[in-house]
Structure 1
């Protein structure tokens, strides 16, 4: 029998030693740090609102670290489960499990370690309610979103948004030991924001998702339906931001930012909607980037509003 030699398809061939620095960088990339950054941006202002001032700095640090551990674990599990998809999609082809910088075993051990550490960390250094909410979000993201919804329904990202909205509940629970109506309004804002944030991205990578057999909305529905849904959710998130004004007794800074930012976001979504009536979207990512600015501005306004008001 002829000697058959397999040619490695990964950028790091089997047997090649990976340096410590490269390995550490790969583990860091496995956590999807850009996603974690956005989650932390929403957590700190929520804690300031819950405290109606500056919370204990050690509590803030413990909550942010524990939240980062939890989100990093969820994202690492996601990379482990979706390696077959990541190999196909251009956007994800350089992730550590695809390139071979990390083995599946290394990724799985890392995911479990970070997840367990997050539960213990938050439980002991923050409180057990925050820890349980974090655990529930992690399990929902991995077991419900990644394993069930993502590959089976075009509404995957809608329900998956619940995990992304959990950090505000964690932050509120960390400060108060409970979850009040204002925390649920902030949860609703992020939950409704997620679809019009993510669908423009999935429009750009529609062909990748189609090849990977992931039924994102732009894959299974025409462009007119996609932009219509984006516009509906843009209106919904805009209205939800205004709910916080009476519920949390927000002041002028937040109120103006919420109103102006929502109008800005809805107008941008409407322009995308009008463009989508022709069946093609030239620059869908413009709304994606705008949505990041919108959410960041909204939560920064929450913090500034509280801090300015306590000085008056």
Structure 2
């Protein structure tokens, strides 16, 4: 992999380790890793620490590979959006070919090694996750339908299922509900962001709901998905991996989230931009903590169970 690449404006930039690491979307990867760890830890089957660490590493590599392939395919629209101009390819630090090569190589390594380290089910789920994110979401849905975030959100929802499969070799109602939690969270999270970055998506030609249906429809969609999200969160708390600690966290957080969604829904285009952005930014910031706190509560329940304190 070369250390230099050509800027789109003809200038040459030095690519360092940090640039290639940025291709892997480390912020997204952190959520992938965390939810996968939770899925593995809360499963009813114990896993050898070496197998667990190796599995999480390969899941992280798979998530990073998806990010690199996403940046490779979306390089053209990344150059048109303010919030993505500094990414490695638009900034000219890494070429599109390098991103493609890195993504393909890491994908192959991650899937094969996870299957060998854990089991075929975990490897197959990781392979499908990468395929879904890169092909179904990035290449197809993202530029075709305003429901891109809704359907594409499935890709980011698979990691806890993969972690569960590492431990159990299968799928259960608990892992499906962990998937559903992330899946239902994705639309209000991204639509809240889109409400105050609408210009970016319009300039790039991405049919985000805010662009195709407007702010009013987007606010209504956020509210609807928020109620669905709350139902999933409570349902998860009633399974074998839930418990009183999780349920308290879920009730409080979802009450706050519903309140935030209602505040966003009540806004009108007659309100000042500052007022609108305050509600939308507030919901977006809450959404950033939402998943970590829910999954963190599941970890607390799993930690307390050996002492007879966690679970129902």
TM-score past 0.5 threshold? yes
> TM-score by structure 1 length?
0.91
* Partner residue, 2:246: 254
The answer to whether the 8 Å contact 1:182/1:247 transfers is yes
> Match of 2:170, SS?
coil
> Match of 1:282, SS?
helix
Unaligned runs of 5+ in 2: 1-5
The answer to whether the 8 Å contact 1:253/1:305 transfers is yes
Q: Which moved more, 1:238-247 or 1:26-35?
A: 238-247
> Match of 2:242, SS?
coil
One of 278, 282, 285 as aligned partner of 2:277: 282
Q: Aligned-pair distance for 1:124?
A: 1.1
* Partner residue, 2:101: 109
* Partner residue, 1:237: 229
Rate the CA distance shift 1:274–1:175 in 2: closer, same or farther, 3 A: same
Q: Aligned-pair distance for 1:164?
A: 0.4
* Partner residue, 1:35: 28
Q: Aligned-pair distance for 1:119?
A: 0.8
Whether 1:23 and 2:19 are equivalent positions in the alignment is no
Q: Aligned-pair distance for 1:60?
A: 2.4
Q: Aligned-pair distance for 1:8?
A: 5.8
> Match of 1:99, SS?
coil
The answer to whether the 8 Å contact 1:227/1:276 transfers is no
* Partner residue, 1:268: 260
Query: Structure 1 runs of 4+ off > 3 angstroms?
Result: 7-10, 276-280
Q: Aligned-pair distance for 1:99?
A: 1.4
In 1: Cα distance, 2:175 partner to 2:7 partner? 49
In 2: Cα distance, 1:200 partner to 1:209 partner? 13
Rate the CA distance shift 1:8–1:252 in 2: closer, same or farther, 3 A: closer
Q: Pairwise mapping of residues 58-73 of structure 1 onto structure 2 (< 5 A)?
A: 58-73=50-65
RMSD of equivalent CA atoms: 1.8
The answer to whether the 8 Å contact 2:66/2:133 transfers is yes
Unaligned runs of 5+ in 1: 1-6
Whether 1:44 and 2:40 are equivalent positions in the alignment is no
In 1: Cα distance, 2:214 partner to 2:44 partner? 46
Q: Pairwise mapping of residues 150-189 of structure 1 onto structure 2 (< 5 A)?
A: 150-189=142-181
Rate the CA distance shift 1:205–1:309 in 2: closer, same or farther, 3 A: same
* Partner residue, 2:303: 307
Q: Aligned-pair distance for 1:48?
A: 1.7
Q: Aligned-pair distance for 1:307?
A: 1.3
In 1: Cα distance, 2:194 partner to 2:214 partner? 13
One of 3, 13, 28 as aligned partner of 2:11: 13
* Partner residue, 1:3: none
Q: Aligned-pair distance for 1:55?
A: 4.1
Question: How many equivalent residue pairs?
Answer: 299
Q: Aligned-pair distance for 1:56?
A: 2.9
One of 56, 63, 69 as aligned partner of 2:48: 56
1:123-153: CA deviation from partner (whole Å, max 9, x where unpaired): 1112111110000010011111111100010
Q: Aligned-pair distance for 1:249?
A: 5.5
Q: Aligned-pair distance for 1:9?
A: 4.6
* Partner residue, 1:121: 113
